[in-house]
């Protein structure tokens, strides 16, 4: 409403919007070497992915382009950012968190992961295709049931 927010706000709002669109999602908190950070864990066709709306905001590097690198990451890539993927937390209510260190949040599939450094070019909802560009040129990723 105020067009501002931090990772905890963005992760929660993004999760809510995904839930409203029929995608199972929840905000998770991970501990990294220099900070705690909140992002969204979601399931698409029963496969888990991590998506970080905070780090995917419009980039100063790409101008007004939307950075796709942090959307639909597998655990290996998300862990490569320095987060302990075996000790994630779930914010249930404000100021109350549940630790997931006793259980795993699986995200082993990289089928929908965009290449590092990818920027959104276009989205074609009819053909269920995301077109993107990266250092290697242009590419596309098909999603959903064709």
Name 8's Cβ contacts closer than 8 Å, sequence gap at least 6: 27, 29, 38, 91
Torsion sign across C-alpha atoms 27, 42, 99, 85: negative
Q: What is the pLDDT of residue 92?
A: 66
Q: Within a domain: residue 136?
A: yes
Q: What is the pLDDT of residue 48?
A: 92
Q: Within a domain: residue 111?
A: yes
CB-CB contact of 84 with 101 (8 Å): no
Q: Within a domain: residue 2?
A: no
CB-CB contact of 64 with 74 (8 Å): no
Q: What is the pLDDT of residue 132?
A: 93
CA-CA distance, 60 to 62, in Å (whole number)? 6
Q: Within a domain: residue 41?
A: yes
Q: What is the pLDDT along the chain (146 residues), one digit of tens a residue?
A: 666 668 888 888 899 999 999 999 988 888 877 788 889 999 988 899 999 988 766 555 546 678 888 888 998 888 887 888 877 877 666 566 566 555 567 788 888 888 888 888 999 989 989 999 999 999 998 877 65
Residue 86 Cα distances to 53, 58, 113, angstroms: 21, 29, 20
Strand, helix or coil for residue 22: coil
What is the rounded radius of gyration, in angstroms, for the C-alpha atoms of the chain?
A: 15
Q: How many domains does the chain have?
A: 1
pTM of the model: 0.79
Q: Within a domain: residue 1?
A: no
CB-CB contact of 112 with 118 (8 Å): no
DSSP structure class, residue 76: H
Q: What is the pLDDT of residue 3?
A: 62
Q: Within a domain: residue 117?
A: yes
Q: Within a domain: residue 53?
A: yes
DSSP structure class, residue 60: S
Q: What is the pLDDT of residue 50?
A: 92
Torsion sign across C-alpha atoms 10, 22, 77, 116: negative
Q: What is the pLDDT of residue 18?
A: 93
Residue range of the domain that includes 102: 7-142
Q: What is the pLDDT of residue 40?
A: 93
pLDDT, tens digit, 9 for 90 and up, residues 13-49:
899 999 999 999 988 888 877 788 889 999 988 899 9
CA 117 to chain centre: 14
């Amino acid at each position: 409403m105020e067009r501002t927010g931090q990772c905890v706000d963005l992760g929660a709002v993004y999760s809510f919007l995904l839930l409203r669109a029929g995608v199972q999602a929840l905000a998770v908190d991970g501990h990294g070497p220099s900070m705690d950070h909140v992002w969204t864990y979601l399931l698409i066709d029963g496969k888990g992915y991590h998506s970080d709306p905070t780090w995917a905001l419009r980039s100063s590097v790409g101008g007004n382009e939307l950075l796709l690198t942090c959307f639909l990451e597998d655990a290996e890539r998300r862990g490569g950012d320095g987060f302990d993927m075996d000790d994630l937390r779930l914010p249930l209510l404000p100021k109350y968190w549940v630790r997931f260190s006793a259980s795993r949040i699986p995200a082993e599939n990289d089928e929908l992961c965009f290449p590092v450094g990818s920027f959104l070019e276009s989205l074609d909802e009819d053909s269920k295709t995301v077109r993107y560009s990266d250092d290697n040129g242009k590419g596309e990723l098909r999603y959903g049931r064709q």
